[in-house]
Amino acid sequence: MNIIKITNNQFQLNTKSTSYVMHNENGFLCHSYYGKRLPDCDHNYMSKRPMYRGSAQSNMSKNLPTLDNALLEYPGFGEVGITATAIEVLNSDGTNFVDLRVFDYCIHNGKPKIDGLPASYAEDGDNVQTLEIKTKDAISKVEVSLFYAVFYDYDVITRWVKITNNGEKAITLLRALSGNIAFDNRNYDVISNFGTWARERQIERAPLLHTGSVVESNCGSSSHYANPFMIMAEHNTTENSGEAIGIALAYSGNHKMSANLSIYNVVNLSGGISPDNFRWNLNQSESFSTPELVISFSDNGLNGLSQNFHKLIKNRVCRGIYRDKKRPVLLNLWEACYFDFTDDTIKSAADSAADLGVELLVIDDGWFGKRDNDRTSLGDWNVNADKIKCGLESLCDYVNSKGLMLGIWFEPEMVSPESELFKKHPEWVMQINGRKPTETRYQLMLDLTNPEVCDFVYKSVADVLKTTNIEYVKWDYNRTMAHIGSSYLNPEQMGEYYHRYMLGLYDVLERLTADFPNVLFEGCASGGGRFDIGMLYYTPQIWTSDDTDAVERSEIQYGTSLIYPMSCQSAHVSACPNHQTGRTVSMQARHIFALTGSFGYELAPEKIEEKDREYIKEFIKFYNENFDIFQKGKYYRLSNPKTDDYAIFEYVYEKRIIVGLMRLKTHALNFQTNIKLQGLDPNYIYTDKVSGERYCGSQLMQFGLPVNTCRNKNDFYAKMWELY
């Protein structure tokens, strides 16, 4: 198997269905091709595309060495005609120029780690190789290794760079993106997510114009507003056909994903740490590694592209026992009681939840310090003895005795000004000396650039996990960063703050997940405000949104599914009327749409009416029996819930199919539709588990699964099919 093929000046990276080809021209590493798999023949003619655009007028000088026609893999700042910049350095002479030329390369079997950063990984026996192409600036002695990890069976290539200062004097990185791919425009659309609290990851698709497209966050986290990925799809690409390239950053901090289109029709698609307020000092011999950029191509439409990302993230980003193990059906008590509970509340919830078949009970915010509302106690991670009089250990014993695991909420990166921690360590706050930091939700942030603070954060969580049988942690993060400053760093390091914060956070998460391998960590950031590949390396599931309304969730989970697997998206059935929207949706609809995620509940179990209890018990049984379909199956978006009358999804795992539908818009006559299924075996005879009806795969894919909602005029009518 030829994963990496190198001939003369050409580098060809092959996955099962794609090829990525580059060539070395005059030392510049140039892009030749990324797309559908090419045969193993000579592609040399591709590299004959002139780098320099000649003049159309024959009497004009031929001496036009501008790089505006060059497809550079890692463009440095400052050469004539450069239309995108991946690296910019403040050299010791005060200039910013970088001229990187290839001088060597090597192939690593498997995939090297990236120091201190989350990244995809290879396991023994995986068909994964990594190409390292070494480039350097001969004058400044800046050396940049470009890494390309090729996941053959996943149709994914990942990129990152390591920058080393081999000069004698200190330099400062002003921009260090993870990678750039340059190619000729083919009528591309840019697809990305925008959002906010309770409305995360809405999809936007628009043609790439010469004004360019940017998805960027500078608020310290990957954010609700701009998820760190970008998809370029040909204008005719649909969910199930056509070509698309996606890039997604394995990073939870400030980021910038951008696509620009030059006047000469060259697209530069790049991603990495946002250069805004980024400076990184490199003394002699010091190195800096960027986060990883995950790249995939599909000619099977957007569903095909999403499935490539899903497969990699599920299997080679998520780690720990819960990567493969069935996730427990959890019941979170936040919407059931908010801050208003005692140990008796939890105990009676445990009794009732156990009877329903729930496996994990989660106590959310309010169990610690003097936390009766959101104004106090973040940082004081000792039990609130007024509320939990029996203590955490004994509460845990009680919950365990009912056959349930117990989970708990933390927001470890924060501190309330009204807390013991703040009194003791005001200097641990992220703040600018001499200015009063702005509170958000009555809280400030801890300075995770300071290793002592990181140790405290580690210990806050570890002490609870060591002394109790808590088996789940919801790791929340409820504000954005501001007033960036530190009493620990010196003034020259302030431009490093945002990235150092992430390194501190990742270090704490690495230690905790290693020391407590049996604990399920779930990410959260005011809902889904930090939903990215970086966090998924530590927390195999993330709370997708604080909006638990099934109709809203059908859109949020739809947008999230562009890159992120459904099993990483926590989705809960909540009470009606819904707390965020006031909408009432049937039990069926709420359950079916919580299947497009890691399934659970967010309500008071003892308040569930008797008539619904049987439904819930049966549904939990069904979920547990079919967990492998949801965890391992391929997920297809079959409709667009924003524009279509129905929200429809499909899971395919071997010969087992689950289809879910919810009617979003009711018209007087819209009662007949056929759902064209995807990804079936055309010759296999599938049986509907309930009706016993039999269909062959090609019928279901070409004519479709008939749906008649004539007799169901209820709003948000929902139905699920099991075919096998």
Residue 532 CA to residue 527 CA, distance in Å, equals 13
Q: Which is nearer to ligand GLA, 224 or 256 (CB)?
A: 224
Residue 11 CA to residue 133 CA, distance in Å, equals 10
Q: Which is nearer to ligand GLA, 32 or 332 (CB)?
A: 332
3-class SS of residue 595: coil
Active-site annotation holds for 93? no
Identity of the residue numbered 695: Y
Tokens representing 77? 């700042």
SS3 sequence of 674-706: EECCCCCCCCCEEEECCCCCEEEHHHHHHCCEE
The answer, yes or no, to whether the previous bond of 75 is cis (omega within 30 of 0) is: no
Main-chain phi, psi angles of 337, to 5 degrees: -140, -5
- Provide the mask over 284-323, with x wherever binding to ligand GLA is found by CB under 6 A and - wherever it is not: ----------------------------------------
Residue 491 CA to residue 227 CA, distance in Å, equals 31
Buried b (16+ CB within 10 A) or exposed e, 541-554: bbbbbbbbbbbbbb
Closest approach of Cβ 498 to ligand GLA, in Å? 22
- By CB under 6 A, what part of segment 683-722 binds ligand GLA? none
Question: At CB < 8 A and 24+ separation, what contacts does 582-589 make?
Answer: 583/549, 583/551, 584/715, 585/549, 585/550, 585/551, 585/715, 585/716, 586/714, 586/716, 586/717, 586/718, 587/612, 587/615, 587/616, 588/718, 588/719, 588/720, 589/550, 589/551, 589/662, 589/716, 589/717, 589/718
Q: Which is nearer to ligand GLA, 23 or 371 (CB)?
A: 371
Ranked by CB distance to ligand GLA, the top (closest) residue is 365
| Residue 543 lies near ligand GLA (rule: CB under 6 A) | yes
- By CB under 6 A, what part of segment 324-383 binds ligand GLA? 334, 364-365
The residue written with tokens 């580059």 in the block is 22
Hey, which residues does 231 pair with through a beta bridge?
Answer: 191, 246
Active-site annotation holds for 546? yes
Find the catalytic residue in 189, 380, 546, 549.
546
Closest approach of Cβ 71 to ligand GLA, in Å? 43
Hey, which residues does 184 pair with through a beta bridge?
Answer: 266
Closest approach of Cβ 374 to ligand GLA, in Å? 6
Closest approach of Cβ 330 to ligand GLA, in Å? 12
Q: With CB under 6 A as the rule, give the number of residues binding ligand GLA.
A: 11
Residue 266 CA to residue 246 CA, distance in Å, equals 17
Closest approach of Cβ 602 to ligand GLA, in Å? 8
- By CB under 6 A, what part of segment 501-530 binds ligand GLA? 524, 526-527
Site for ligand GLA (CB under 6 A): which residue of 546, 549, 555, 650?
546
Q: Which is nearer to ligand GLA, 137 or 411 (CB)?
A: 411
Q: Which is nearer to ligand GLA, 501 or 531 (CB)?
A: 531
Q: Which is nearer to ligand GLA, 164 or 526 (CB)?
A: 526
- Provide the mask over 77-116, with x wherever binding to ligand GLA is found by CB under 6 A and - wherever it is not: ----------------------------------------
Cβ pair 114, 300 in contact under 8 A = no
Closest approach of Cβ 529 to ligand GLA, in Å? 8
Hey, which residues does 176 pair with through a beta bridge?
Answer: 87
Q: Which is nearer to ligand GLA, 243 or 602 (CB)?
A: 602
- Provide the mask over 465-494, with x wherever binding to ligand GLA is found by CB under 6 A and - wherever it is not: -----------x-x----------------
The count of other CB atoms within 10 Å of the CB of residue 284 is 13
Q: Assign 3-state DSSP to the chain and report helix, strand, coil percentages, each to 5.
A: 20, 35, 45
Q: Which is nearer to ligand GLA, 526 or 539 (CB)?
A: 526
Tokens representing 306? 């999403």
Closest approach of Cβ 475 to ligand GLA, in Å? 10
Closest approach of Cβ 590 to ligand GLA, in Å? 17
Question: At CB < 8 A and 24+ separation, what contacts does 431-438 make?
Answer: 431/483, 431/485, 431/487, 432/483, 432/484, 432/485, 433/485, 433/487, 435/483, 435/485, 437/482, 437/483, 438/482, 438/483
Residue 201 CA to residue 561 CA, distance in Å, equals 9
Find the catalytic residue in 476, 532, 547, 549.
476
Main-chain phi, psi angles of 441, to 5 degrees: 50, 40
Tokens representing 359? 């496996």
Q: Which is nearer to ligand GLA, 250 or 336 (CB)?
A: 336
Closest approach of Cβ 443 to ligand GLA, in Å? 10
| Residue 200 lies near ligand GLA (rule: CB under 6 A) | no
Give me the residues that bind ligand GLA (CB under 6 A), please. Answer: 334, 364-365, 409, 476, 478, 524, 526-527, 543, 546
Name the residues annotated as catalytic: 476, 546
